[in-house]
Chains A and B, each alone.
Chain A
Amino acid sequence: MQPLEQQPVLLLIDDSPMIHRLLTFKLKNEGIEFLSAFSASEGLELAASNRPALILLDLHLPDQNGLTALLSFKNDPRTIDLPVIMLSGDTDPANKVRAFELGAMDYVTKPFDIHELRARIQSAIRVHTLMHMLEKRAQIDGLTGLWNRAHFNERLSTELDQSKRNKTEMSLIICDLDHFKKVNDTFGHPAGDAVLQSFAKVLTTELRSYDVACRYGGEEFAIILPDAGPPASLAICERIRKAIEAKRWPNYPNIRATASFGLTDRGLDSGQTPEAWVAAADKCLYDSKQSGRNRVTTYATSGQAPRLAIAG
Chain B
Amino acid sequence: MTDPTSQLSPLQSEFASDADMQELIQMFVDEVPQRMSEFRFAWDRANAAELGRLAHQMKGAAPGYGFTPLGESAKALESALKHAAHDLTAVRREFDSLIQMCSRVAR
Contact = CB atoms under 8 A, between A and B. Distances in A.
B56 A114 contact: no
With most chain B CB atoms within 10 A of its CB, the pick from A21, A62, A114 is A21
A60 B53 contact: yes
Contacts of A111: 59-64, 68, 71
A16 B64 contact: no
B28 interface: yes
Nearest to A24: B24
B30 to A, nearest CB: 12
B27 interface: yes
Interface footprint category on A:
10 to 19
A89 interface: yes
Interface footprint category on B:
10 to 19
A114 B64 contact: yes
A22 B27 CA distance: 10
A22 B62 contact: no
Interface in A82-103: 89
Interface in A4-63: 15-16, 18-19, 21-22, 25, 60, 62
Given A89-B56, A111-B71, A16 B24 contact: no
Contacts of B24: 21-22, 25
B83 to A, nearest CB: 15
Contacts, number: 43
Interface string A59-73: 010100000000000
A110 B27 contact: no
With most chain A CB atoms within 10 A of its CB, the pick from B63, B64, B65 is B64
Contact of A60 (B31, B56, B61, B71): B56
B27 A19 contact: no
Nearest to A25: B24
B5 interface: no
A18 B63 contact: no
B47 interface: no
Nearest to A89: B60
A22 B53 CA distance: 19
A60 B65 CA distance: 20
A187 interface: no
Nearest to A88: B60
Given A21-B24, A21-B27, A25-B24, A110 B65 contact: no
Contacts of A19: 57, 60-61, 64
Interface of A: 15-16, 18-19, 21-22, 25, 60, 62, 89, 110-112, 114
Given A16-B57, A22-B64, A111-B64, 12 more contacts: A15-B53, A15-B57, A16-B61, A18-B61, A19-B60, A19-B64, A21-B24, A60-B56, A110-B59, A111-B59, A111-B61, A114-B64
17 contacts: A15-B57, A18-B28, A18-B57, A18-B61, A18-B62, A18-B64, A18-B65, A19-B57, A19-B61, A19-B64, A25-B24, A60-B53, A62-B53, A111-B61, A111-B62, A111-B64, A111-B68
Interface of B: 24, 27-28, 31, 53, 56-57, 59-65, 68, 71
